[in-house]
Every structure is written in C-alpha cells, then in structure tokens.
Structure 1
Amino acid sequence: MIPDRPLPYSGDYASPEEYVEKLLGFVWNSEILQILCGGVHILDFFTIEPGLFHYALPKEWQPFILSCDIMQLLDLLMRDDLDNLSFEGDQRPPESFIEYIRTVRNLSLGRTFTPQELKLPILPRSVAVGMNPKKIHEVTNFADYVDRLSRGIAEESGDEISHFIDFGSGQNYLGRALASEPYNRHVVGVEGREINVTAARGLDISSGLAIKPKVMRNKKLWSKIKKTRGPEGQADPDAMAKAIREVAVDTDFDFRPVRELDAEYTAEQGKGFVQYISGKLDSGDLGDVIAQIENGDASEGEKKELKLMAVSIHSCGNLSHFGIRSMLLNQNIRAVAIVGCCYNLLTEKLGPPTYKYAYLRPTLEAINGRIMRESEKHDQQGFPMSETFSKYKGEGIRLNITARMMACQAPFNWSEKDSEGFFSRHFFRAVLQKIFLDRGVVKKIRHYELDRETETDASPVEQGDSESPFDISTNPVIIGSLRKSCYGSLKAYVRGAVQKLTSNTDYKQYAEVMQEKMAGITDEEIEQYEAMYLPRRKELCAIWSLMAFSAMTIESLIVADRWTFLQEHSDVVGKAWVETVFDYAQSPRNLVVVGIKK
C-alpha cells in the first residue's frame, strides 16, 4: 500500500527529509530559479531594453541558448542524458547551465506512472457518459486507487471506510464510478455550484444510480399554459409560473422541466449510493457536511462512528488544503487522498513579498479587472501549509501568482505544433503590451521603494537609478481568449484585442481610455512593431521554456509542503506519502497526497 519512498524524488537523497531540505535550500538560494519562477513575466518581455532574456539569464548561457532550436533546447532540459551530450563545435552548453538543469531535474518529483491491474479496466458506457478520454483515464485509475487504499486501511487497522467524501465533486464522475459496480461504495459529493449538482443528478439517472421520478403530465393543459404565457414570455420563468397558476390551479399535474425534477435515490444493501451536499467550503472543518450524511437505517451510535475518506481529483487551489486539513479537524475522517491542481488559485498565507525577495514580483491588479489583493489578506488557509515552510530562514517560503501559474505547465507534453501555437500567442501579447506602453494605455510601476528608509514619489529617472525588470513592470491588462482568426498574425491579434477591450461593458471607463489611445493605430505601425521584435521571438520562446522547466521544482515544492504538513502532525497522522496516480501524458497533475490517521 505504501510506496518505498514517501516522496517520489529522483535524486540521490538519504531520506525524504533530506530531499525537502535540499529543495528548500535551492528555492531560497538560487537567483536564477527565483528570476525564472516569479521574477519575470511575459507581459514585460519587451517593455524594458535590452529585454528580459538578457536580464534573466547569465551572459555565458545566452549564446548557446540562442544557437539551439527550441525543440532541441526542450530535449536538453528534460530528456537528454546530461553525461553523454553531443554538440557540434563550440555549441556545447556551459557547465553552469548543465549543472542548473541537473539540479532542477534532481529536485523535481518523479512523475513516472506504473499502471496497476484494475478491478474495472473499462468504465461502462452508462458511467462514462459526459467524460472525455482524459477524464475517463483519471476516473478509472483514481477510483481503483482509492478503493485499493480503503481496503488496505481495513486490512491494517480494521477501519472499514464507510463513505468517500469528494471535495469539489463537480458533475460527480468519480463518485458515480465508485458508487457503481464493481465498487458499490457510498459517496458524498460536496459541490459549491448548484448547476453542477443538477447536471450530476441527471447523469446519475442515465447510469442507473438514481430513478427518474414519475410525474403526471397533461398535454392539453400544457398547450393552454403556453397560449396564456404568450410568445413574448417564452424565456421568462416568472411568466411561465404565472401561466401555470392561472391555468392549472388545483391539479396534480407537474409541469416542471425534466432537469428540475429531483432524482430519486434508494439505498440498498451491498449497493453503492450517492448523496450531494451543496455548499462552498472555506476550511477543512466538515462538521456541517458530516451532520448531513445519510447512513441508511443505522442507529445514532453507528452514525457517530462514520469512517470517512476525503478524496478528490484535481481540487483547485485551497480546496486541496481543505481536504488535507479535514483529517485533523474531523474525528470521522480516517484518511485523505487528494490530487491538487490550479496552483494559481492558492492564496498567499505569508502575504506579499518583502524586499528580502529581490526577484519576486508582487501580484499586480489588472487595470481592467476586479480588485482582489489576495496576497494582502494573509489567508491562513493558503500556501504554505506547513510550519517548516512558513518559518524557513525566519522569513518563510513565498510564491507569487506567476510562479504558481507556471507550476501548472506540462512541458514534457509540449509537441512542436503545440509549442509553436502558444509561443506565437505569447509573442503577440508581449508586443501588444509594448504598444500599450508606448501609446499610454499602461504605465511602468516600481515594485518597491528605491530608498527603504524614506518614502519618495520621485520617478526612477529622477532618482538616477537604472530600470530593472525585477523592480519595474507595467500594468497588467486582461484580454482573455480571442477568436481563432485573431491568432493568425500580430495585426489580427492587435485588432481583435482592441476591439474586445473597447467594447467591454463591464469596465466602460477603461474601454473609453482604450478607444482614445488605440483607435488611431495603423496597420503600418503594427507592422513596424512586428519587424522590430520578430527577430527576438526566439528569446521569448527560450525564456518561456526555461520558466516552465524550472517551475517543475515549484510544483514539487507545493506538494512537498502538503506532505510536510501531514508529517508535522504525527500525533494524529500515522502515515503520509505522495505518489503518481495518472499517466503524465494524459493528466500532468498526477501526484496524490495521501494521509492515514493513527
């Protein structure tokens, strides 16, 4: 049940504790890692000369990196045997670059997945409805994993897991598989979006877990209702309700749409069962959830002895933390098995970076976005979870949203075609930000005071201080997705982005500024920008590749923090480990954090 190593590190470390210490030391001491993971942002690639490429990387690395084809560079970063490299002539990479690659590889948790013999190798069509191939792979493997884990717990401790609690169950793909043959488990889906719960109940009916309720209909009355409502009230629920009250008063007929009918669930001995509890969690305290769990005809004493396992496939942001903490905060939670994702949605427990983090960009507010200032909340539910990480070197480990966003990348899965597509999008966006800066749409922002002891409103130029991308950036502007045709050229991208921003009704004031500053830009001007920066596109591709590669240590850091948190609570937690549960090629967020109560 427990893997040989509690953490799947690949380097030669004597213990998981030594691995964690080396990882923390690298994150704390490596300036290159700090620059690539949180110190630079693609938006500001061309806003400061000579560009981020020249600021971010050691000079001795730059000629070699620019001489490489991008796919060749990706192979060197992630796949090539570093002890048997073959390069022509003077193209050999500098030793310091090779050592950096080796260190990142050694400190990145292993992602190799060894498939197990599954109890249910192929999901029945009725259960798999609505799932894409990625979701089928995840549900098939994780359902089998948590079932094996629960049986292993029962064999070792005698604790028979009575229910699985699925954090953020969504449309309950995992729970439906666990409640169906051959697992027949009881599952409680905790979901904050009612629309997902409604959809899940519909899928339960399709799979046979629930019964479609029988209601009385009347076609003649329905025709009268529609006539009374009139065509103008077709999309108005209130008009429909009023028409029903007028026409079908004092009748037993039901005119609700099928999707609004409550599915009927029946608990049977030896069969699986699904229950939904709607609500948004804000901590790991599941007292209210546990109080609502249905346990058939069990006595009050038996209900108090519920033995639960918290599970989740890809809990976004802090939801993973809630799931892990639930084992400490709830007596009934006997184990957890949580696969996290969306690290960018984690909050920041330690607050904004201080001046001691020389390269860590503060999280800036988009000028056309809602005010969040998440880092200033010092959310105790956020990253890091563990005391070890929170108090490291007296300052604690901080990750800004840029670093956490990069940890969501999957560079091992990048094909040449995929890479070309998103490199082009990043290039277009970086050039557009330069255009915004030149035309006064955005301004440069200094991150920290030049003089730490006295405040000043003087500009960098007036201070006589040279600009640095580690202390200067520009206002973010949220653009979001554009039509596919907008990604064909820089000209199409600029036109599409400006059109979207000037027609935004949510931020009318900013749309007017955009109209004033950008309406007059000509095709010739856009072509001049493209001619100026296209020769430097490779610099951007190289930096983005290095950022994604380096961020593998950031994901490892986040996962190691969660494992360390469980280890620190050895008075409650008997065993804790991390292992892979999915094939990285199909689902790159494939590390599960497991904890079992004493």
Structure 2
Amino acid sequence: MGPERALPCSPEFETSEQYVDTLLDFIGSSELLHALCGGVHVLDFFTRKPDLYTLVIDSEWRSFFRAHDIMDILDLLMREDLNIFNQETNSWREGPVPPESLLQFIKQIRRLSLRREHTPIERKNQKGTNGPKTSHTLARQVAVGMNVKKIHEVDNFCRYLDRLTSEIAGSTNQEITHLVDFGAGQNYLGRALASEPYNKHIIALESRAHNIEGARNWDVLAKLAPKQQTMVNKKEWRKAMAEQGISEKEALKQDLKGERGFHAETPVEEQPAQATLKISNQGVGSIQYVEHYIKDGDLSRVVPQIVDQDVVREKVTSDLDTAAAQPPSSKQIPDNFVEGNLQVDDSIKAQDPRLLIISLHSCGNLVHHGIRSLLLNPAVSAVALVGCCYNLLTERLGPPTYKLPSLRSNHPRLTETSEAHDPHGFPMSSRLCNQSTSSGKGLRLNITARMMAVQAPQNWGKKDSEDFFKRHFYRALLQRIFMDKGIVAAPEPEDVEKNNGSPLGWSAGGGTAPIILGSLRKSCYESFTAYVRGALDKLVNDPTRGDLFKEKMCSMTDDEIRNYETEFKERGKELSVMWSLMAFSAGVIEAAIVVDRYLFLREQDEVADAWVEAVFEFKHSPRNLVVVGIKK
C-alpha cells in the first residue's frame, strides 16, 4: 500500500531518511537561504543602506544577473539542464556563464525540493470497472459551480481516495465506512465522492453555516437533492395583506424586490433541515452536513452521530434544557449542533464506524488538526490531507532567530505569530523541534518564509512574471516615498558588535513600518502615477493615519511621482531577480513543512504507515502533495 518511496524526493537519495537528513541540515545551516526565505521583505528593498540586493547577493552573482534577461534567469533557476556547464564554454545565451557558486546553489535547491510529477489514476466508470484515462470524469451536474482548476483537483482526488479506500480494505479486511471532510466549504469534493461511480458516505464538517446552506443549494442545482415542494393559499394571502393594510399591487412590488409576498415560497408544513442527503436513486452514497468548528482533532461530538443518534438526541436535549434558563450563548451550544442533525438516515449509520479524514487544500493548522484526529479518535482509521496557505500556520517554538538577524522584518504579523507558542502550530514533529541549526535548537520558519513557500515560479509565464514584478516594484517604491515623506521612519544602523558580529548588520527590527494597503483596482497598475493615486485614495480614508497621508502626500505632483519611477527604474530588475531567487529557494521551505507532517506520523506508535505523494498536475494546482497516514 502506498508508493515505493515514502517521500517523493530526488532519486539521488537512496532512502527517504537520507533525504530528510540532508534537507534539514541545509535549511538549518544555509545563511543565504535564511536571507532569501524569511529575511528579505520587498517593502524594505529601496529603504535601506546598503541596499538589500548588495547586502544579500554576492558580487559575482550580481554581475551575471546584470548581463541577462530576467526570463533567462528564471529558466536557469528552474528549467535549464545544468549539465551543459560541465563542458568548457565561455558564454550562455549571448552573455557570461553562471558563477560556479550560483550553479551549486541551484543544484542544491533543485535536489532538495520534492518531486511534483503526477501519474493519473485510471478512471472508474458507472459500473465500477476501470475505463480509459480521460481529462476528467465528473458528471456534468456534479461539476456545477466548479472552474477548470477545481474540476481537475476534485476529479483526481476522488480517484485517489477511491483507490486508497480499496487498498485499506484489502490490507486490513475492514472497509472504510465514512469519509470525513475537514473544512468542506461548498462541498464540491464531498458531492463528487457521494455520487456515481464512488457512492461514498460523506460527513461534511464546516464551521460556517452559510457555507452549509450554500452547499445544500448546489446539491439542488446539481439535481442531487429534491427541491422542497411548496404551496401557497392565495385567498389566505390576500386576507393577510388586507389586514395589514397592504394592497395586492404593493405586496407584489415588495415580492419583486426580494421581500416576502405572494410569490415567496412557503412550505406546506415546516420541516427540519435534513442532515443527510441521499444521492440519486441508483447510488448508495450520502452526505451529512455538520456545523462544527475544528479547533483540534477531537471528533468526540461528531462520531456519535454516525453510531447512535439517541445518544446525540439526549446530549442536545440536555444542553438546550440547560441553556433555556439562561440568556443564549454560543458557548452553551455544542460545536457540532445544527438544527436537523438528528434526522440521519439509518442506512448510513455504522455500529463500528471506520473513518477516513480527508481535506482538499486545508488552510494553516487545519491539516495539523486532521493529522492529530488519527491519534485522538478510535474510530479514525486513516487520513489523507492536502494542505495550502502555509502563511496561516501558527508557530510552536516562538520567535525565529537567524545567523543574520539584521534581515529580520518587523512586520506585526511576524511578531504576532512568532510569539504564539501554539502547541498546534509548526513544527509538529519531535525531529524538527529538536533539530540543531546555526541559530539554536529547533527549526523555525517565520511568516515571510511560509508566505514564500506558496509561490509557484515554475508556472510563471512571461506575462505573469511581468505582472508580479511590476506589482512588487510599485509597492516597494511607494514604501520609499512613505519614508521620504516622513510617514514611516528610516531603519537605523546598529554597531556591528551589537549584531552578532555580522558585517552585514543593521538593527534586528531593521525594516520600515509596514503600511497595509490591500488590493487596488486593475487600472491602478497602468502606471506608477496611477498606482500612487489609487493607493492614496484608500489611505486618506484611514481612520487613524488618514490625516497624515493628506498632509504629507496629497500635494505630490505627477512629475514628482514620475521622477521616483525614473530614478529607481534600473533597480527594478534587481528586485525582480531577488523575488525570483526567493520564490525558487522556497521550494525547500515547502518541503520542510510537508516532511514535518510526515515525520510526525512516523513518530507515532499508533501509525502503521505514512507517505507523501502528488495527486494533481502541478501546472493546474501547485499545492499538489497529499499526506497519508494509516493507523495500525
């Protein structure tokens, strides 16, 4: 069961263990990696002296980058066959060849980044047998509401989970009875799994009631659930309108505006919301929606709903009787309670439930909660989780430290997350918590490093790259204007001796104060002048600093703004090179996060097997690695 190798690492490594050792040694010791992934923030690119580019990038590298186009540099980092430089050559793409130290750095990042190649699984047809490989197999009505990317993800993950459940049943002689989707959202994945040809029983956990309601509406639009039959007594309605002094004409106008009137559908008899959705007349799949805020891996309030509804009914009745004598409070209502959850179809209950915890692109700590559910709940037999949004992870070990503390940004979110000491945060495994690094015990990744880990530079085309680089250039240059106008203070140099003896030293809080700008209209990126004007339109309305922006910047002329762009234009390429190096290098940061989850599972006595593999095409969905754990 599972792939031949537990981790999809380079074939240069004989074992997964050898790969892990090399990966963690490199991350723990490479000063350049610390600078590129976690130390550099684009906001500070034009505000420091010496500038970040000179501070971080070797002079020999800078000379090479100066002589080549940025798209050629991206090719060198990610696509060029580096073996061509083993032969004696004096030029590359009509310019100098890369320095040997740069080539060695590129080779190291490539070999330590996890392999992302995906091998499609043969589809299963309506009769349950295997058929030819196709682009996707989702029925048209099941795919309603999905874009191309979502169809690719759902279709391939359904095939993967179907095969996984079969393999678990074959190796343990016990069937998986239910798939529990952590953070189901609009339930695209669950809807597909419950339909033909998979017919799985789905428990869709979701913390937001409006998402559950939205998912139910998609079920109806997909013709997988019947629309509620309604009838209206027109004579009674007219009588009610007359008693309220409202004419029929006025009532109809209100109805057209979306208010309640004659055309509003009124159920004949109010029915509680159905917790279970039986999928089609032919299939045996089902969906049970459960509103549940997932704050850890404990499912003790969810599993009883699958086993014995009488237990749940007694629990809910007791809680509501207690709450009736007091003012309503969300803390008094069980996390999993949704009106109608008691009406679960008997056909999907199990005396001995065996659960597979699944999730498609779980944000932040949600993957950690899913992994821990394998240990905390006897009914959970396995997990298969695809993560994303690493920037939303909290930090377990506290403030990150660096060999070059001068590169530490003072972004408020960096401080907030680094001081959280959250037991549910990163890292999970004892191995990473105890890993020796150049800056002490334990591997730490700040929010800037984790934010870079969600980049996908391999998918950047020329237009994408130009758009990225323009946005970063404009934002970094605007920060320089903020500093020059006195809105934010310039970073102050510190004595070298107070900076761990680093000759590159500036103060540990060595960045300018961040200004949260948010998104701007597309038209704001037509020129730097339009960008500054668009940003000011938002910032002058800031309740705390709006007056300061009006005082310091509203008098700027278009010529003054254009002069900034002209002065720093040549350094725009330097920022593009830096951002490309940061995004490329962050492949090993994502590898560390994924490997940490794998190692945590391997460290548990209850776990029989664990592995990581790709389940989507990287070009469609860069966060394409699933972490699987099987309980003994």
How far has the Cα of 1:3 moved from its partner?
0.8
How far has the Cα of 1:15 moved from its partner?
1.5
Give 3-state SS (helix, strand or coil) of 2:609's partner.
Answer: strand
Residue in structure 1 matched with residue 340 of structure 2 by the alignment = none
Q: For structure 1, which runs of at least 5 residues remain unmatched after alignment?
A: 454-464
Q: For structure 2, which runs of at least 5 residues remain unmatched after alignment?
A: 126-135, 308-343
Residue in structure 1 matched with residue 569 of structure 2 by the alignment = 534
Q: How does 1:254-265 map to 2 (within 5 A)?
A: 254=267, 265=277
Equivalent residue letter for 2:353: L
How far has the Cα of 1:60 moved from its partner?
1.5
User: Equivalent of 2:484, from 424, 435, 438?
Assistant: 438
TM-score, structure 2 as length reference: 0.83
Q: 1:160 to 1:447 in 2, by over 3 A?
A: farther
Q: 1:269 to 1:253 in 2, by over 3 A?
A: closer
Is 1:293 the counterpart of 2:293? The answer is: no
Residue in structure 2 matched with residue 183 of structure 1 by the alignment = 198
Per-residue CA shift, 1:129-179, capped at 9, x if unaligned?
000000000000001101100000000111200000111111000000000
Whether the 8 Å CA contact 1:355–1:448 is kept in 2: the answer is no
Give 3-state SS (helix, strand or coil) of 1:287's partner.
Answer: coil
Is 1:387 the counterpart of 2:430? The answer is: yes
Give 3-state SS (helix, strand or coil) of 2:59's partner.
Answer: coil
**Aligned partners of 1:479, 1:147: CA distance in 2, in Å?**
44
Q: 1:297 to 1:544 in 2, by over 3 A?
A: same
Equivalent residue letter for 2:451: M
How far has the Cα of 1:396 moved from its partner?
0.6
Whether the 8 Å CA contact 2:364–2:392 is kept in 1: the answer is yes
User: Equivalent of 1:125, from 140, 143, 148?
Assistant: 140
Whether the 8 Å CA contact 1:572–1:597 is kept in 2: the answer is yes
Q: 1:228 to 1:382 in 2, by over 3 A?
A: farther
User: Equivalent of 1:138, from 150, 153, 157?
Assistant: 153
Residue in structure 1 matched with residue 382 of structure 2 by the alignment = 335
Is 1:116 the counterpart of 2:129? The answer is: no
Whether the 8 Å CA contact 1:138–1:582 is kept in 2: the answer is yes
Give 3-state SS (helix, strand or coil) of 1:509's partner.
Answer: coil
Residue in structure 1 matched with residue 182 of structure 2 by the alignment = 167
**Aligned partners of 1:516, 1:94: CA distance in 2, in Å?**
49
Residue in structure 2 matched with residue 33 of structure 1 by the alignment = 33
Residue in structure 1 matched with residue 536 of structure 2 by the alignment = 498
**Aligned partners of 1:100, 1:222: CA distance in 2, in Å?**
76
Whether the 8 Å CA contact 1:211–1:265 is kept in 2: the answer is no
Is 1:281 the counterpart of 2:294? The answer is: yes
Whether the 8 Å CA contact 2:375–2:606 is kept in 1: the answer is yes
Q: 1:423 to 1:48 in 2, by over 3 A?
A: same
**Aligned partners of 1:534, 1:220: CA distance in 2, in Å?**
74
Is 1:546 the counterpart of 2:581? The answer is: yes
Residue in structure 1 matched with residue 53 of structure 2 by the alignment = 53
Is 1:523 the counterpart of 2:558? The answer is: yes
User: Equivalent of 1:578, from 592, 612, 623?
Assistant: 612
Whether the 8 Å CA contact 1:170–1:197 is kept in 2: the answer is yes
**Aligned partners of 1:324, 1:263: CA distance in 2, in Å?**
26
How far has the Cα of 1:514 moved from its partner?
2.0
Is 1:427 the counterpart of 2:462? The answer is: no
How far has the Cα of 1:372 moved from its partner?
8.1
Whether the 8 Å CA contact 1:285–1:329 is kept in 2: the answer is yes
Q: How does 1:88-127 map to 2 (within 5 A)?
A: 88=92, 91-119=96-124, 121-127=136-142
How far has the Cα of 1:77 moved from its partner?
0.5
Equivalent residue letter for 1:272: G
**Aligned partners of 1:484, 1:9: CA distance in 2, in Å?**
40
Q: 1:419 to 1:222 in 2, by over 3 A?
A: farther
Paired positions, count = 568
**Aligned partners of 1:293, 1:363: CA distance in 2, in Å?**
48
Residue in structure 2 matched with residue 460 of structure 1 by the alignment = none
Identity level (%): 50
How far has the Cα of 1:467 moved from its partner?
6.3
Residue in structure 2 matched with residue 459 of structure 1 by the alignment = none
Q: 1:342 to 1:257 in 2, by over 3 A?
A: farther
Give 3-state SS (helix, strand or coil) of 2:48's partner.
Answer: coil
Equivalent residue letter for 1:348: E
Residue in structure 2 matched with residue 42 of structure 1 by the alignment = 42
Whether the 8 Å CA contact 2:405–2:508 is kept in 1: the answer is yes
**Aligned partners of 1:466, 1:510: CA distance in 2, in Å?**
33
Per-residue CA shift, 1:11-56, capped at 9, x if unaligned?
5122111111111111111111110000101111100134221111
Give 3-state SS (helix, strand or coil) of 1:288's partner.
Answer: coil
**Aligned partners of 1:227, 1:134: CA distance in 2, in Å?**
53
Greater shift in the superposed pair: 148-157 or 388-397: 388-397
Q: 1:346 to 1:228 in 2, by over 3 A?
A: farther
Equivalent residue letter for 1:13: F
Q: 1:483 to 1:227 in 2, by over 3 A?
A: farther
Q: 1:99 to 1:183 in 2, by over 3 A?
A: same
CA RMSD of superposed structures (Å): 3.3
TM-score, structure 1 as length reference: 0.88
Give 3-state SS (helix, strand or coil) of 2:8's partner.
Answer: coil
Residue in structure 2 matched with residue 563 of structure 1 by the alignment = 598
Greater shift in the superposed pair: 276-285 or 536-545: 276-285
How far has the Cα of 1:477 moved from its partner?
1.1
Whether the 8 Å CA contact 1:211–1:264 is kept in 2: the answer is no
Is 1:321 the counterpart of 2:368? The answer is: yes
